[in-house]
Amino acid sequence: MATVDIFGKVQNYNYIESAAECDPVAFTKVVESRRSVRVYTDDLIDPEHIKECLRLALLAPNSSNLQTWEFYWVRSAEKKAALVEACLSQPAARTAAELVVAVSRHDLWRERNQLMLDVFSPEKKIKRASAYQYYRKIIPLAYDQGFLQWKGFLKRVVMWLRGFSTPTPRSPKSLSDMRVMGAKTVALACENYMLALRAYGYDSCPMEGFDGARVKKLLELPSGAEITMVISAGKRAENGVYGKRIRWDSSLFLKEI
């Protein structure tokens, strides 16, 4: 089967999904009222609400739809206590009703890529040839770094030379690049999760202050997994927000060229 133009050609798969009508006022309220809450009340969270918020988290966009993420909802009292300690016993963890650990599993790209390939029936392999070839050829070419990253080094040189004459994707060309891609993917889902919590009337705090080695051991994660953040959730206490939101002038960050 010949390789088709994956990036340049507009594909027509005869699939239509209409955009839902949304309420921008309600969404703005959710976004503007989301704060990093450091202290929670003793109120519990309906487990079904956590399940739904995690479901919505998994709808986040992600690199090549490989979904290289895992979310650990720590419910065991013993493990939750250990996780709080690993999070330095900070109030955002200690007073939380629920704790979720967001993990990048970029190390599972082969397994997740195979799941995508399994989506293609013999008929779809023909009708959606560009997408099939993308997962069959492009993903392994991009993600496989080789033993001692020799393939990554070769790609770095080839892409550097190719970049002189044509726009060229430069990554992932190393395990470090893959870690960055994995973190970006997981972070998108984390934002979905936190906004969903706010929509349900709860608050959250994304935490980077934790002992990663202890959390990995607690979750029995392999060396290739990377913890992106620990997210606490609960009902906001009166002293839960430490101060007014600080944002500098938008001209520092928003550029029109």
Residue 3: the pLDDT is 45
How many Å separate Cα 16 from the centre of its chain? 26
For residue 246, give both structure tokens. Answer: 């600080």
Q: Is the pLDDT of residue 1 over 60?
A: no
- Global pTM reads 0.93
Whether the CB-CB separation of 15 and 143 falls below 8 Å is answered with: no
Residue written as token pair 């195979």: 114
Provide the pLDDT for residue 10. Answer: 72
pLDDT reported for residue 12 = 74
243 has pLDDT over 90 = yes
pLDDT surpassing 80 at residue 91: yes
Q: For residue 182, is pLDDT > 60? A: yes
* Model pLDDT, residue 39: 98
Measure CA 7 to chain center.
23
pLDDT of residue 13: 74
Split at pLDDT 50, 70, 90, the class of 117 is very high
In the predicted model, what is the mean pLDDT of residues 163-183? 93
Mean pLDDT, rounded, for 241-254: 96
> Could you report the per-residue pLDDT of 193-209, keeping only the tens digit for each?
999 999 999 999 999 99
Confidence of residue 2 (pLDDT cuts 50, 70, 90): very low
Give the CA count within 13 Å in the CB-facing half-sphere of 51.
3
Q: Taking 80 as the threshold, does the pLDDT of residue 4 lie above it? A: no
Higher-pLDDT residue of 28, 9: 28
Q: Calculate the average pLDDT of the chain.
A: 94
Pairwise CA distance, residues 71 & 185, whole Å: 12
DSSP class of residue 174? S
Tell me: the pLDDT tens digits for 207-240? 999 999 999 999 999 999 999 999 999 999 999 9
More confident residue, 216 or 1: 216
What pLDDT, on the 0 to 100 scale, is given for residue 15? 85
Q: How many CB atoms lie within 10 A of CB 21?
A: 5
For residue 28, pLDDT over 50 is answered with yes
